[in-house]
């Protein structure tokens, strides 16, 4: 399988209505939104983004970090919408347990995870800008799921519990981090 990725992936969340956390998103594929100046269903927007060549991944619900059944259900909803396998995931609120979540991602069939990042700042939470294979702590073995560290998330840039950077300062900070990655050959 070719794991070459676009520079940008779009992650969509679908909470399990039976196990909703306070801050999980509650939109459904059937909800209407305005996208590209048109009123359409969320699922049609997802299809448009996918058909434009962008990668679609699962922004897994908060309580799915330790439950392969929930992840598989959420993944299958997106796969039905785009008509192909969804290979990437990122956990909502970066809810992740290094001793459990990698194995759960593997069991759910994900090839790529991008959860390792910071919620209130930018930078190298995993200590690297390079992708690496995840590890199953319980089995003491490498998995075939690749972690692509998330170095920049929009929330920390702008929110008052993060960096509170705006406009040119946010762009400057992102460019500084991009140059660090470039200088490391990442």
Is residue 159 over pLDDT 80? no
Is residue 166 over pLDDT 90? no
Tell me which of 15-29, 40-54, 87-101, 157-171 is least confident. Answer: 15-29
Spatial contact of 55 and 85, defined as CB atoms under 8 Å apart? no
E strand map for 49-160: 55-60, 88-91, 112-113, 132-136, 141-147
Sheet arrangement for strand 112-113: 9-12, 55-60, 88-91, 112-113, 141-147, 132-136
In angstroms, the CA 119 to CA 10 distance is 18
Question: Please, what is the average pLDDT of the chain?
Answer: 86
Angle between helices 68-82 and 42-51 (to 10 degrees): 70
Per-residue pLDDT band for 173 (boundaries 50, 70, 90) equals: confident
In angstroms, the CA 17 to CA 136 distance is 29
In angstroms, the CA 119 to CA 132 distance is 20
Q: In this predicted structure, what is the pLDDT of residue 163?
A: 72
Sign of CA dihedral 169, 174, 180, 182: negative
């Amino acid at each position: 399988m070719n794991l070459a990725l676009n520079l940008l992936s779009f992650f969509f969340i679908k909470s399990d209505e039976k196990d909703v956390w306070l801050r999980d998103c509650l939109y459904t594929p059937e909800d209407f939104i305005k996208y590209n100046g048109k009123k359409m269903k969320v699922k049609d927007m997802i299809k448009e983004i996918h058909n434009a060549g962008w990668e679609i991944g699962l922004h897994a619900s908060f309580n799915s970090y330790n439950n392969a059944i929930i992840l598989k259900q959420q993944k299958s909803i997106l796969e039905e919408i785009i008509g192909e396998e969804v290979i990437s995931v990122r956990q909502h609120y970066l809810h992740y347990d290094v001793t459990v979540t990698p194995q759960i991602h593997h069991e759910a069939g994900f090839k790529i995870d991008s959860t390792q990042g910071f919620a209130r700042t930018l930078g190298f939470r995993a200590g690297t800008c390079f992708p690496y294979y995840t590890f199953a702590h319980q089995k003491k073995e490498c998995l075939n799921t690749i972690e692509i560290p998330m170095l920049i998330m929009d929330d920390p840039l702008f929110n008052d519990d993060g960096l509170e950077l705006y406009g040119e300062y946010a762009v400057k900070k992102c460019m500084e981090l991009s140059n660090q990655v470039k200088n490391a050959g990442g």
